[in-house]
């Protein structure tokens, strides 16, 4: 496995592999790798000859300095996990490599970034789209794989790639979960011990809504009441948002669901070291057609 630190070296390698006819898949990450990231590696392997993974804690997507400072950076552990998973190359640049002195260019998607995480984290998605654009230009992959847990991020990146005519396929991989249903996240390790058990409330709320829709419930207000009731069973949970949205446009769902609808959650829990940990999760609810 090769470790690359500079954009120029990565671009040179990408040109060489492309000229040789090899298909490159990129898995962008911020490190602190877990089984969810490794599931993205598996999805990438099925789509390409070479799997490249980036490890870069992107400072421009953090709206809170304390959140950036708390984000775990464990590169040696990440490299060991990548070797075990058969990753061919890891790109781990320094911040100055990605944002050199004097940098003043940003990539921004507008409407899709306004609701959900964008409403409570101003500037977050501008940082995401900028760094993803930089990574795509550096690695020149044929396909880049992202997880569906970050549903809004996936939608925003797809929009950016379409609008700017990037020659890359954006592939989605399903959410990987712990046995108790909690979505895998690098942030989970920061949860206070008792909060870790409470965090399963997100999966419980999604499951309750899915069962209600399967039983015929279509009223948005009733579904959101069910979700918030389920989340309230976790005494230390604080809801950032619990919303029903169109899965393509991310516009607010109608009062009565008419088709597939995204149920998106963001909830904070106490951290092991004083602050709170923000977890997100989602599910696309699929009402059955009305019988005539």
Class of residue 167 by CB neighbours under 10 A (exposed 0-12, middle 13-18, buried 19+):
exposed
Contacts of 232 (CB under 8 A, 6+ apart): none
Place of tokens 């898995």: 27
Contact between 287 and 218 under an 8 Å Cβ cutoff? The reply is yes
Contact between 131 and 54 under an 8 Å Cβ cutoff? The reply is no
Provide the H-helix boundaries in the chain.
7-19, 35-45, 65-70, 75-85, 95-98, 117-120, 124-139, 151-163, 193-198, 201-214, 220-231
Contact between 288 and 257 under an 8 Å Cβ cutoff? The reply is no
Tokens of 248: 């393509």
37 annotated active-site: yes
Q: Rg for the chain (alpha carbons), in Å?
A: 20
Instruction: List the catalytic residue out of 37, 124, 142, 165.
Output: 37
Q: Quick one: three-class SS letters along 55-93?
A: ECCCHHHCCCHHHHHHCCCCHHHHHHHHHHHCCCEEECC
Distance of CA 196 to the CA centre of its chain: 20
Distance of CA 40 to the CA centre of its chain: 11
Tell me which residues are annotated as active site: 37
């Amino acid at each position: 496995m090769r470790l690359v630190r500079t954009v120029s070296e990565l671009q040179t390698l990408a040109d060489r592999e492309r000229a040789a006819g090899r298909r490159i898949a990129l898995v962008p990450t911020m490190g602190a790798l877990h089984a969810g990231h490794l599931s993205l590696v598996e999805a990438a392997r099925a789509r390409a000859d070479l799997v490249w993974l980036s490890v870069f804690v992107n400072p421009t997507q953090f709206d809170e300095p304390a959140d950036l400072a708390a984000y775990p950076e464990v590169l040696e552990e990440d490299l060991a996990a990548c070797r075990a998973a058969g990753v061919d190359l890891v790109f781990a640049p320094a911040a100055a490599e990605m944002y050199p002195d004097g940098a003043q260019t940003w990539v921004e998607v507008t409407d899709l970034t306004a609701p959900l995480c964008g409403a409570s984290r101003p500037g977050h998605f501008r940082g995401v789209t900028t760094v993803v654009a930089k990574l795509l230009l550096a690695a020149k992959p044929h396909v880049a794989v992202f997880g569906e847990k970050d549903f809004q991020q996936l939608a925003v990146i797809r929009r950016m790639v379409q609008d700017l005519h990037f020659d890359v396929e954006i592939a989605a991989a399903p959410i990987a979960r712990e046995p108790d249903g909690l979505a895998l996240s690098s942030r989970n390790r920061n949860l206070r011990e008792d909060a870790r058990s409470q965090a399963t409330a997100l999966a419980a709320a999604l499951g309750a809504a899915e069962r209600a829709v399967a039983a015929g419930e279509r009223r948005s207000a009733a579904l959101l009441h069910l979700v918030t009731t389920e989340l309230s069973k976790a005494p230390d949970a604080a809801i950032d948002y619990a919303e029903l949205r169109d899965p393509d446009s991310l516009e607010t769902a109608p009062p009565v669901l008419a088709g597939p609808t995204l149920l998106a959650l963001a909830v904070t829990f106490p951290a092991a070291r004083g602050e709170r940990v923000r977890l997100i999760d989602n599910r696309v609810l699929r009402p059955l057609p009305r019988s005539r």
